[in-house]
Amino acid sequence: MGTVVSLKKKTDRESGIDRIVGLVSEDMQRVNELILSKTGSEVTLIPEVAAHLIESGGKRLRPMLTLAAAGMFGYRGEGHIRLAASVEFMHTATLLHDDVVDESDMRRGKASARMVWGNEASVLVGDFLLGQAFKMMVEVGSLPALEVLADAAAVIAEGEVMQLVTTQNTATTEDEYLAVIRAKTAALFAAAGEVGAIVADRDAEERAALRSYGANLGNAFQLVDDALDYSGVQATLGKKVGDDFRDGKITLPVLLAYRRGNEEERTFWRRSLNDRAVEEGDLERAIELMASHRALEDTIGRARHYGAMARDALEIFPGSEYRQALTEVIDFCVSREF
Amino acid sequence: MGTVVSLKKKTDRESGIDRIVGLVSEDMQRVNELILSKTGSEVTLIPEVAAHLIESGGKRLRPMLTLAAAGMFGYRGEGHIRLAASVEFMHTATLLHDDVVDESDMRRGKASARMVWGNEASVLVGDFLLGQAFKMMVEVGSLPALEVLADAAAVIAEGEVMQLVTTQNTATTEDEYLAVIRAKTAALFAAAGEVGAIVADRDAEERAALRSYGANLGNAFQLVDDALDYSGVQATLGKKVGDDFRDGKITLPVLLAYRRGNEEERTFWRRSLNDRAVEEGDLERAIELMASHRALEDTIGRARHYGAMARDALEIFPGSEYRQALTEVIDFCVSREF
């Protein structure tokens, strides 16, 4: 029985990503070419570092949202290609800077850029990609799209700083945690969706719908990501289990286990996360406590809630293969690798 | 006789900065208020880090260029205030990231932000300020100004990466070094001048003149900065003498001393800069070698050359107090604290 469920999930997931990938494949080809051409520089360190990350097999979920949104409206222009590439560059720049901030040694199953080329190169190539992103969006010439993406850039950075402050504080509330992920993750998903509507010249209601779809999808995506960090399946993704734990990062699985725990358990969480006095066997203990309090299941439950909101945000649009594809992305995000 | 020259220089310099400061003081007041309001965030770490740098007594040379350029054209709108604040934020973001890259422990006579709040906060607050800069320039709504500033953002980052690559390589040519400072420093001075003309709706020739003025002024400024790093007067500025030397940074004074030196001297430079095997007394030796080869004087000589080009770029404009003030900024930059 367990096997049947697992197989069914796998099928759902694959069809989910397959449909959107198929629909935007020609456009995505052009986005990829643009991305490669915009990392070009006589300073060879730049294409080297950029390629390391860009060719490391990210799913390019965010630019796909822009392309699919524009596609759903039958957009026939060129602007969505540049906007999608800008969105991906903003994301890549964030990853480069995140790895420096978190002192990560791996990213997508490979050594992180900062381990290969140093923190300096990661900071500066990130800045370069941000600069290129802004250049590309300016080229599109849409002030409303610029407004949305510039706003996202500021909000994302604000969210990252917020996360820095909540790190090592197990007393963080779920609301505070949500404010962090809304800023650091959901803001870019929201912008990615909204600019797809903007470039296709859609009205305020349609823009807001895609913005809401993206924001809720982003929340769901991040919640699942945070649960995966404590799940064994992680190892197969090339990420180490427990990275967040070792970084003292306060995510929803931790918050739930902490709140639901007894005083002895809270002392454990405070020692290992607030004081970073991690001992042999602590990660295993953390995973056990999460299991006993159903912290991972309930984190996924919260993700489903945002997934449902994302789905309803799309309801104002007439049925179409594009809308179906965007809906399946939600299922894909919520049921990743569990 | 020496005293007389020195006094005269001091007078030039003071009047130089005084005139532009006086002309733009009302506008600058508004820029400062805007800057303060845009570092506001519920995440209190952001205003803390930003204020540390922003209130640390930088001269705000770059935003002054934008304001004075717009003023010279009798511009009466509001856009120059936001553009000037954007330029200063771009500069501040670069400083925050530079300190992380160079591992600097001091900046403008105070502990650097990364020493007080850590590398993480410096990287992320830098990103936040960049995001706010983009938001402000988008609000002005001028696509040509956006193009110029977005382009500068990418070029600056490219220059910083270039510098990373030339660092620790004494075989860098003067041309390669110039390419670095043109990108990392002069590009923002050039953009600061040009957007002053753009916001005032001036023609291509006038835009190009202010761009050229800014670029050459920026080159001169950086050359003098690089010479000052080996000059005793530095200590009075709260910067340590020899920071560049300790960082293995290849600047024009080093390049000249290296090229003009004999084989034994070149071995010294390679050991201390390329291999970073700095020993007690090496900085003193470096300063002696620069003196014997006139490396600092000739670096200043090169700066004067760019200063002259900056001055000539302004010649197409009719005489005015604004033009005079912009010209005096050149003298100020070239004759700083020697």
Per-residue pLDDT tens over the stretch A111-121: 888 888 889 99
B68 Cβ neighbours under 8 A, 6+ residues apart: B20, B23, B24, B196, B322, B325, B326
Judged by a CB distance cut-off of 8 A, whether residue B232 touches chain A is no
Rounded Cα distance between A42 and A313, Å, is: 45
Query: Would you call B43 and A141 a contact, using CB atoms and an 8 Å cutoff?
Result: no
> A141 is written with which tokens?
């010439």
Res B338: pLDDT: 52
Place of tokens 């739930």: A256
More confident: A193 or B236 = A193
Res A234: pLDDT: 55
Altogether, the residues listed in chain A come to a count of 338
Res A2: pLDDT: 32
Residue of B nearest to A132 (CA): B154
Rounded Cα distance between B75 and A63, Å, is: 40
Res A1: pLDDT: 30
Rounded Cα distance between B204 and B201, Å, is: 10
Rounded Cα distance between B53 and B184, Å, is: 19
A338 Cβ neighbours under 8 A, 6+ residues apart: A9, A227, A228, A231, A233, A300
Q: A124: which chain B residues are within 8 Å (Cβ-Cβ)?
A: 97, 101, 157, 160-161, 164
* H helix intervals, A167-281: 174-181, 187-199, 204-228, 243-246, 252-260, 263-269
Judged by a CB distance cut-off of 8 A, whether residue A123 touches chain B is yes
| pLDDT tier at A4, thresholds 50, 70, 90 | very low
Judged by a CB distance cut-off of 8 A, whether residue A298 touches chain B is no
Report yes or no: B152 and B190 within 8 Å, Cβ to Cβ. Answer: yes
CA-nearest of B121, B135, B115, B109 to B55 is B109
Sketch the domain layout of chain B as residue ranges.
8-328
Q: A162: which chain B residues are within 8 Å (Cβ-Cβ)?
A: 43
- Where b means 16+ CB within 10 Å and e means fewer, A197-223 reads bbbbebeeebbebbbbbbbbbbbbbbb
Candidates B101, B134, B160; nearest CB to A134: B134
For chain A, the first-to-last Cα distance in angstroms comes to: 16
**Considering chain A, what percentage of its residues have pLDDT values greater than 90?**
72
Residue of B nearest to A118 (CA): B101
The pLDDT tens digits of the residues spanning A222-232 come to: 999 999 999 86
Residue of B nearest to A156 (CA): B128
Query: Would you call A147 and B138 a contact, using CB atoms and an 8 Å cutoff?
Result: yes
Res A23: pLDDT: 97
SS3 A107: strand
B223 Cβ neighbours under 8 A, 6+ residues apart: B181, B252, B299, B300, B302, B303, B306
> B11 is written with which tokens?
């007078």
Res A337: pLDDT: 61
Rounded Cα distance between B156 and B147, Å, is: 14
Q: A131: which chain B residues are within 8 Å (Cβ-Cβ)?
A: 150-151, 153-158
Report yes or no: A69 and A63 within 8 Å, Cβ to Cβ. Answer: no
The DSSP element (H or E) to which B121 belongs, if any, is helix B113-140
User: E-assigned strands of chain A?
Assistant: 106-107, 110-111
Ranges of chain B with pLDDT below 50: 1-14
Rounded Cα distance between B25 and B33, Å, is: 12
Res B150: pLDDT: 97
CA-nearest of B16, B17, B85 to B54 is B85
Report yes or no: A149 and B146 within 8 Å, Cβ to Cβ. Answer: no
Domain A168-323: CATH class, spelled out: mainly alpha
Res B160: pLDDT: 93
> In Å, how far is A27's CA from the nearest CA of chain B?
25
Judged by a CB distance cut-off of 8 A, whether residue B97 touches chain A is yes
Domain B8-328: CATH class, spelled out: mainly alpha
Backbone angles phi, psi at B240, to 5 degrees: -80, 140
CB atoms inside a 10 Å sphere around CB A317: 18
The amino acid that residue B308 corresponds to is A
Query: Would you call B157 and A125 a contact, using CB atoms and an 8 Å cutoff?
Result: yes
Q: A139: which chain B residues are within 8 Å (Cβ-Cβ)?
A: 147
Place of tokens 């222009």: A77
Rounded Cα distance between B210 and B298, Å, is: 26
A298 Cβ neighbours under 8 A, 6+ residues apart: A256
Instruction: Name the average pLDDT for chain A.
Output: 90
Candidates A100, A132, A147; nearest CB to B154: A132
CATH 3.30.2350.10 fits domain A15-141: no
Res A168: pLDDT: 77
Instruction: Name the average pLDDT for chain B.
Output: 90
SS3 B249: coil
- Does pLDDT of A50 surpass 90? no
The count of C-alpha atoms lying within 13 angstroms of the C-alpha of B46, restricted to the half-sphere facing its C-beta, is 29
Res B4: pLDDT: 31
Rounded Cα distance between B276 and B279, Å, is: 9
> In Å, how far is A96's CA from the nearest CA of chain B?
11
Candidates B134, B155, B160; nearest CB to A153: B134
Candidates A97, A121, A155; nearest CB to B161: A121
Angle between helix axes B79-102 and B25-38 (nearest 10 degrees) is 60
